[in-house]
Chains A and B, each alone.
Chain A
Amino acid sequence: MHSALLLPARVLPARVLPARVLPARAWRVVLPALVAATIGLTGAPRPAAAADLHDAIRTTQQRVVKIFGAGGIANLHSYGTGFLVSDEGHIVTVWSHVLDGDVVTVVLNDGRRFYGKVLGAEPQLDLAVLKIDATDLPYFDLDQAATASPGSRVLGFGNLFKVATGDEPVSVLHGVISAVTKLTARRGRYEVPYDGPVYIVDAVTNNPGSAGGVLTTWDGQLLGMIGRELRDTDSHLWINYAIPIGELRDAIHSIRTGDFTPREEEEPDDNPQRYVATDFGIVLVPDVVYRTPAYVDDVLPGSAASQVGLQPDDLIVFVNGELVHSIRTLAVTLGRLEAEDDLRLIIRRGKALIPVEMRVPRREELQ
């Protein structure tokens, strides 16, 4: 669920305010007037901000590379984006089918072409590091990477739809950070392994070819790596996101220094079914449709559920803080419980929401 809270406190409402200067109603009139005045004051043929923004974009584009590799059949595109993280040709990009060949072609911003070799990859982070044989290259210093909060203006850089060829710089898009949240997404039918924090962006940054590009602040500070085209697990919408550099930094460093061991694959059985509702004395209504609400049909006498006062017709709406969309989602959560865990339910009875708590029994207690 979208529960990660990474917001620095400063964007939240508390804020020290200066004394009264203008009546509030005048504000909407004042803004255009002020902007107009500022234009007048700067007076230069190229306004300072536009110059700043232009410079930030130029600097960033020089550090972003275009990658061409495997794919090109069916719906698989054969191109992507990456960015330089050292002056000696280390390139960070996403781990995807584009890298399936032994070597890929890397085209620098100045149009030079190199063969890139995959140094290593961390599928859990959707991360790969390439190496090209070149020196004195412009690059992002990962230790200087920034962080940002919702509402921050950002720029996205990537070779979406391979619009850029040769020495053409990659495309730049602008937007704001919509949210900072944990990724719950899928590709086709498959859940995506990465479930850490991401920046959700309100620009359409994640298009074919953009993956491996960068998200920066408006003054060009590196924020994150643009991910692939994914759909949100809950809403089924295409999402535009980037993985914060802080999540990738250690793995990039390890791959570069060669002491990298990919993380252990997490337990493949994500539906262990260790416990079921009747283990707690809860008999649910028959699961007849795809999203049958988790109504209690009966409570077994003497059971844990009867001791905490569950009743027939109660609707289980939350289990350990997660919304229970249906009997299926409840079954998955119960299946993952461990002995001695707390089982916290919130049930709806009439209009009231009632919290109850039970201890998860050990297996031998159930015999």
Chain B
Amino acid sequence: MNRYCATLAIAALLLLCTTTRTFAQVDALEQEAFQQATALAGPSIVRIETIGGRDVVGELITGTGPTTGVVVSSDGYVITSSFNFIAQPAQILVTLPDDRRFTAEVVARDTSKMLTLLKVDVDGLEPLAATPKDDLRVGQWSLALGRTYSNTFPNLSVGIISALGRIDGKAIQTDAKVSPANYGGPLVDIEGRGMGILVPLSPQKSDETAGVEWYDSGIGFAVPLEDIYAVLPRLKAGEDLAPGRMGVTFEDTGPLAGEAKIEQVRPLSPADEAGLAAGDVIVEIDDEVIDRIPRLRQVLGTRYAGDTINVAVRRDDEIVRTDVELVAELSAYEPAFLGILPVRLPRDADATGVEIRHVYSDSPAATAGLEKRDVITAIDGTPVSTAADLLKELGRKLPDTTLTLAWRRGDAEQTAEVTLGTMPDELAEELAAASIPAPDEEAERPERGHLSRQLAGDERRYWAYVPDQLNLDYDYGLLVWLHPTGDTMESDILEQWRAICERRGIILVGPKAGNISGWTPDDAGFVKAVIEEMRQTYPIDPARIAVHGFAGGGNFAHFVGFRNRELIRGISTVAAPIRIPPPSNTPEYRLQLHFISGEEDALAEPIEETVEGLRQMGYPTTWISLPETGRAYPDEATIERLAGWLDQLDRL
């Protein structure tokens, strides 16, 4: 019996019903159609079992039950959901519908659509025929099949196609119940053909467990089988497929974003090498019209690293076309370093150049002969009048770039060639605090000293310390203290930091976790809101906002810091290695990190690994390792060094 005959059977039965059958009988015929479609696809559905592996991944306890795969080639290739191997098992076994068992090898992975291709040493299997994508329609019956409960007959859930082109064009959506009971199995049509392979996916997240929280919810996803067959030769050849990146950023990538106007092009990225530039508007990719950013995401979502796309951009009312070869990973970006600290001027000062507060020894600036109190006036002929201007010019440059620097010393104008370097890992130099003049006593100033507040419309509270000598004409650094689990440490921190705040011009703020027994991801928005409120009330230098946490608070500082890179410039932690892989470093955010660990602490080793990993990723990272110290908040001398780091966040 084949699919063709079954179709005829159903059609014949349905013909009969036009004249003699009632609706109840149509229901019965539909039920038989479900069972037949399942039986037809059955020979291509295999059971997958695993041995060994991790028992917990993230928050998820991994299952040990059987999962499902689909035969895609008669010579033993099986496609399945990567979710089935999140435990990283030692051995994968495949059981065919005729109960023959085989060991399986992983051939390749698709990390964009979360699929894994397996190979077993057997021939004569029955690959699942694909429903042509052009035939897919919203509202069609769709059956989600698995091999988890019985090897004799697949388990099934019946639904309809809810949507096409979901998750950036990667998946079709069904309201059939999709869960680990059928991840890796097929979504089949009423003729038993494969519409897609069931996988957990999430529109918001892309990690390996993303989308599992929606199991059995009526929101399930399947990667179209036709798309899988299109890349099967690449997978069979052992090529891992990854999402393709071109290296551009847009101001807004949200669902309401408008035209695809490039905000920044990552240096050395495929887009950069193809000649794309900031301000270009992408209007077409591979002959598909891009009217808005969501459309761009749809088109790029199905492209892999290694694919070459033809991009048309509008530049000054002209259309420019270029080919871009997408890559999996953009090369690590490391910010370039000139080696100076700018003088912090009063807020309303009228500057005609950037006065130097400090020149780092052995830095490019020192080599070029710059000195304290020199005033930088131009970079490569472009005049710079403020530190922000200077950052704008330098922020786009890579280390080893040579440029021409113009500066003023007294009345003399000088120029020199400078080759940019990288930020030093050590902060060897003692740096005198940048003094802020005493305020005008008459002036009206916001509340100072030790404060305790509540965010409007929020139960959660925060405390703060604002220097008594607050001078509203000057910008202050903002240090956000994130307390460890179970203890706000408010009085200890205040005691340790109060004098430093006064001397170095720092405002300290301590949000309190919604639940003292630990920070939750939900608290991140609260911390951000506290920072925003402080910025509205006090003069805060956007270049010197840092989060600082100890132990559990340190882990949360990493979470908050990496999540809000547009706002936060420094992350400083004590006894806290990074647990989730950080995002790659990009020129648009100038983030620096600082770690303190005790040599006796069991966390010393993971922290060292974290520091090395971050440096490899191009993040400027400073590390203090304290001998004969366990897991403790550091002493005064170490805090003084940390304060020095905080005072140099605006180095260039």
Q: A: which residues have CB within 8 A of B?
A: 2-5, 7, 11-15, 17-22, 24, 26-28, 30-31, 34-35, 37-38, 41-42, 47-50, 52-53, 149-153, 175-176, 178-181, 200, 202-204, 218-219, 232-238, 240, 289-294, 315, 317-318, 323-326, 346, 348, 351-353
Contact = CB atoms under 8 A, between A and B. Distances in A.
A195 B154 CA distance: 20
Given A11-B153, A24-B4, A293 B9 contact: no
Interface residues of B, number: 75
Interface in B137-179: 140, 148-158, 176-177, 179
Interface string B211-222: 000011000000
B156 A150 contact: yes
Contacts of A200: 149, 155
Interface stretch (B29-37, B306-314, B413-421, B435-443): B29-37
A41 B19 CA distance: 8
28 contacts: A7-B152, A7-B153, A18-B12, A18-B13, A21-B12, A22-B8, A24-B191, A34-B15, A38-B26, A41-B19, A42-B23, A49-B22, A52-B24, A151-B38, A178-B156, A178-B157, A179-B150, A181-B149, A202-B176, A236-B61, A240-B216, A290-B55, A291-B55, A293-B51, A323-B93, A324-B51, A325-B52, A353-B103
Nearest to B152: A5
A195 to B, nearest CB: 14
Contacts of A294: 51
A130 to B, nearest CB: 31
Contact of B1 (A14, A26, A37): A14
Nearest to B104: A351
A20 B39 CA distance: 20
B536 interface: no
Nearest to B217: A204
Contacts of A34: 14-15, 17-18
Contacts of A21: 8, 11-12, 15
Contacts of B39: 11-13
Contacts of B215: 237
B7 A24 contact: yes
Given A179-B150, A234-B64, A353-B102, A17 B24 contact: no
A22 B4 CA distance: 10
Contacts of A26: 11
B21 A38 contact: yes
Given A18-B12, A41-B18, A179-B155, A35 B54 contact: no
* Interface of chain B, main secondary structure: mixed
Nearest to B60: A236
Interface string B67-88: 0000000000000000000010
Given A11-B35, A200-B155, A293-B90, 9 more contacts: A7-B153, A24-B8, A48-B23, A219-B24, A234-B66, A235-B148, A291-B54, A326-B52, A353-B101
B155 A178 contact: yes
B346 interface: no
A202 B220 CA distance: 13
Contacts of B475: none
A2 B34 contact: no
B181 interface: yes
B64 A151 contact: no
B31 A293 contact: no
A150 B35 contact: yes
B27 interface: yes
Contacts of B36: 15
A133 to B, nearest CB: 38
Contact of B149 (A12, A179, A204, A317): A179
A27 B10 contact: yes
A203 B156 CA distance: 11
B14 A31 contact: yes
A153 B64 CA distance: 29
A312 to B, nearest CB: 16
Contacts of A47: 23
A147 B191 CA distance: 26
B189 to A, nearest CB: 8
Contact of A49 (B3, B19, B24, B158): B24
Given A34-B14, A181-B149, A13 B27 contact: no
B406 to A, nearest CB: 62
A326 B103 CA distance: 16
A351 B52 CA distance: 17
Contacts, number: 218
Contacts of A15: 1, 6, 9, 36
A147 to B, nearest CB: 14
Contacts of A150: 35, 38, 153-156
Contacts of A3: 150-151
B121 A237 contact: no
Which of A15, A53, A203 has the most B CB atoms < 10 Å from its CB? Answer: A15
A294 B87 CA distance: 16
Interface string B180-192: 1100000000110
B449 to A, nearest CB: 46
A52 B21 CA distance: 13
Nearest to B215: A237
A238 to B, nearest CB: 7
A42 B22 contact: yes
A151 B156 contact: yes
Contacts of B23: 38, 42, 47-50, 52
B91 interface: yes
A235 B1 contact: no
Nearest to A353: B101
B293 to A, nearest CB: 35
Nearest to A13: B39
B149 A2 contact: yes
Contacts of B18: 34, 37-38, 41
Contacts of A293: 51-52, 90-91
B65 interface: yes
Interface in B36-58: 36, 38-40, 42, 49-55
Which of A35, A233, A291 has the most B CB atoms < 10 Å from its CB? Answer: A291
A281 B66 CA distance: 30
Interface string B585-612: 0000000000000000000000000000
Interface in B358-405: none
B279 interface: no
B5 interface: yes
A22 B40 contact: no
B398 to A, nearest CB: 44
Nearest to A32: B139
Contact of A13 (B11, B40, B65, B102): B40
A149 B151 CA distance: 15
A232 B216 CA distance: 14
Contacts of A149: 35, 153
Contact of A176 (B12, B154, B156): B156
